[in-house]
Amino acid sequence: MVVKISEITEEIVDLLSKDNVVGLATHRHLPHEKAIYMRHGVCGFSIDVMLEEGGVKTLYSILVNAEAKPKKKIVDNWIKYGGRVTYYLTVKSEKGLKTKKKISTYRDGEHLFRQVEEVRQAFYRKYKELKMKQEVAPVKLEEEIFHMVGIEERDLFLGV
């Protein structure tokens, strides 16, 4: 399904902003993606969102990949070029995994990273809120490479 990139951003931000979010985890890290994009014209991020719905915890896994599509073989600056975004939302249930896929385009790297920044801000707002609920001593976010709160490792797909 082809949609506007803002629709993908809105869907992710809405999921992260729900009151019943009880856990979050990052796998591919948002702050580093721009540096990767500047080198390769490709980047992405992956986060898990655990919601508690009717006493049952449900894991939503998000994967977003972006790839610039320049018209030239030699590129002076990837940020100048538009490209394609592929978004996957996978929900884990007792029956198995159900994945939804959406595709979009972006005008240039600045357009892409404005959307990424909206998601990043929503993630960290909820992450800080959940950390405070756990009454864990505050940490500097930049010191953590893998962010996880409210989700146990057994609930993540970490190669098991």
For 97-109, the pLDDT digits (tens) are 999 999 999 999 9
Task: Report pLDDT digits (tens) over 21-42.
Answer: 999 988 766 567 888 899 999 9
The answer as to whether 146 is a domain residue is no
Q: What is the pLDDT of residue 142?
A: 47
Whether the Cβ atoms of residue 41 and residue 75 lie closer than 8 Å to each other: yes
Residue 137 pLDDT exceeds 60: no
Q: Is 112 inside any structural domain?
A: yes
Query: How many distinct structural domains can be found in the chain?
Result: 1
Helix H, strand E, coil C: the string for the chain is: CECCHHHHHHHHHHHHHCCCEEEEEEEECHHHHHHHHHHHCEEEEEEEEEEEECCEEEEEEEEEEEEECCCCCCCCCHHHCCEEEEEEEEEEECCEEEEEEEEEEECCHHHHHHHHHHHHHHHHHHHHHHHHHCCCCCCCHHHCCCCEECCCHHHCCCCC
153 domain residue, yes or no: no
Q: Which domain holds residue 92?
A: 5-140
**What average pLDDT does this structure show over 139-149?**
53
Distances (CA, A) of 32 to 44, 62, 99, 142, 160: 9, 17, 26, 11, 26
151 falls within a domain: no
What average pLDDT does the structure give for the chain?
Answer: 86
Q: What is the mean pLDDT of residues 37-60?
A: 92
Distance CA 59, CA 48 (A): 7
Q: How far apart are CA 19 and CA 126, in angstroms?
A: 9
Q: What pLDDT digit, counting tens, does each position of 61-88 carry?
A: 999 999 999 988 899 999 999 999 999 9
Confidence of residue 157 (pLDDT cuts 50, 70, 90): low
| 160 found inside a domain | no
pLDDT at 32: 73
Residue 132 lies in a domain: yes
Structural domain includes residue 104: yes
Q: Does residue 147 form part of some domain?
A: no
